[in-house]
């Protein structure tokens, strides 16, 4: 069945969606991951940066990681996953979306939940370089929406061996409304600070003409306001509802032909239950594992706080192992010879 009950069991000491969501961000001791940076020049004159796990095997299957809203390769879930990939003999590489690698991108536009062109471009580059290397992709939150939309609209099954999407919004408008309620407003305030700060920094640093006055940014306090005045016009949408409608991935799910696993928690504080697709919307190639608990990109288990286990870093490789060959990683001495960029 495309819809299955998740085997995830939350840690007894992390009850509730907010505890599951916040623990990895606030309390996790992150794995030490060193990256080798590669800059890709894009056809429109902009750029984005790929961060390759420098201590990963020097050859073998590739796993491309897509971060969430205002995330990057330094995000805890990205670092944890690429470290887990290396233990399976796979190479992890994080695609930093435009402007999310520590340097503002060149153009007024940025990234958004529905823009799949950069993802398609990166995948084509990786496939052209190593046509025989198995390639998979994992997307978190906004990156998961982007991944599922691209898989569905492309209608192809030969670019990726497999894909995994975690804590996907599915429908963007209900997410924007949910974030205005209850304790989720704290997450909204956090994201809005990041979005306003990034917008101000780019248009100040690059000397670009901002489509929305910098001295009025404080007025943009929720996703509706920011997406209506900034995201939609910068990315060619007719307005906020055109953006939410066209960028939401749920309508594209029936077209997915790549073996895909979706991991989602019913108590995700960013969502409402109605966004979760019904079984008849899922093709046979897609499995949705729905857990009662887990929060947003949380899924923390383990017997004690000092022995926390990050279940996603076991479940995702277990699924990908059905489609990617595993091998012994190269020796530490071989890995240490790889050129390294700052974490």
Q: Kindly list the catalytic residues.
A: 141, 268, 296
What's the rounded Cα separation, in Å, for the pair 294 and 273? 14
Q: What ranges in 97-239 are assigned the alpha helix state H?
A: 117-129, 142-154, 172-178, 184-205, 223-226, 232-234
What's the rounded Cα separation, in Å, for the pair 35 and 54? 5
Instruction: Tell me the chain's radius of gyration from C-alpha atoms.
Output: 19
DSSP state of 290: E
Reduce the DSSP state of residue 104 to 3 states and report it.
coil
The alpha carbon of residue 181 and the mean position of all alpha carbons in its chain are separated, in whole angstroms, by: 24
H/E element, 111: none
What distance, in Å, lies between the first and last C-alpha atoms of the chain?
Answer: 41
**Checking phi first, is residue 233 left (phi over 0); if not, alpha (psi -120 to 50) or beta?**
alpha
């Amino acid at each position: 069945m495309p819809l299955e009950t998740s085997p995830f069991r939350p840690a007894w000491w992390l009850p509730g969606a907010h505890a599951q969501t916040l623990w990895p961000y606030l309390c996790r001791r992150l794995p030490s991951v060193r990256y080798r940076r590669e800059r890709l020049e894009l056809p429109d004159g902009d750029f984005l940066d790929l961060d390759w796990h420098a201590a990963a095997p020097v050859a073998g299957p590739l796993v491309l990681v897509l971060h969430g809203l205002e995330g990057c390769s330094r995000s805890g879930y990205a670092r944890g996953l690429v470290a887990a990939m290396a233990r399976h003999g796979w190479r992890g590489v994080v695609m930093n979306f435009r402007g999310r690698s520590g340097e503002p991108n060149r153009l007024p536009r940025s990234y958004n939940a529905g823009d799949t062109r950069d993802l398609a471009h990166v995948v084509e580059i990786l496939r052209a370089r190593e046509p025989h290397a198995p390639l998979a992709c994992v997307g978190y939150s906004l990156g998961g929406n982007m991944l599922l939309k691209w898989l569905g609209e492309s209608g192809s099954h030969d670019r990726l061996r497999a894909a995994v999407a975690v804590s996907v919004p599915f429908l963007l408008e209900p997410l924007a409304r949910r974030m205005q309620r209850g304790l989720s407003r704290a997450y909204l305030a956090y994201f809005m600070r990041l979005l306003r700060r990034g917008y101000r920094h780019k248009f100040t640093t690059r000397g670009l003409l901002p489509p929305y006055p910098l001295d009025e940014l404080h007025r943009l306090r929720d996703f509706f306001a920011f997406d209506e005045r900034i995201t939609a016009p910068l990315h060619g949408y007719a307005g906020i509802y055109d953006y939410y409608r066209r960028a939401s991935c749920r309508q594209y799910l029936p077209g997915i032909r790549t073996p895909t696993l979706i991991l989602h928690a019913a108590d995700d504080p960013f969502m409402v239950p109605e966004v979760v697709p019904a079984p008849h919307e899922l093709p046979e190639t897609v499995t949705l594992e729905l857990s009662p608990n887990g929060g947003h990109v949380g899924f923390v288990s383990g017997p004690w706080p000092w022995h926390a286990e990050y279940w996603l870093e076991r479940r995702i490789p277990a699924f990908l192992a059905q489609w990617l060959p595993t091998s012994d990683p190269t020796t530490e001495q071989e890995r240490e010879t790889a050129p390294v960029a700052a974490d």
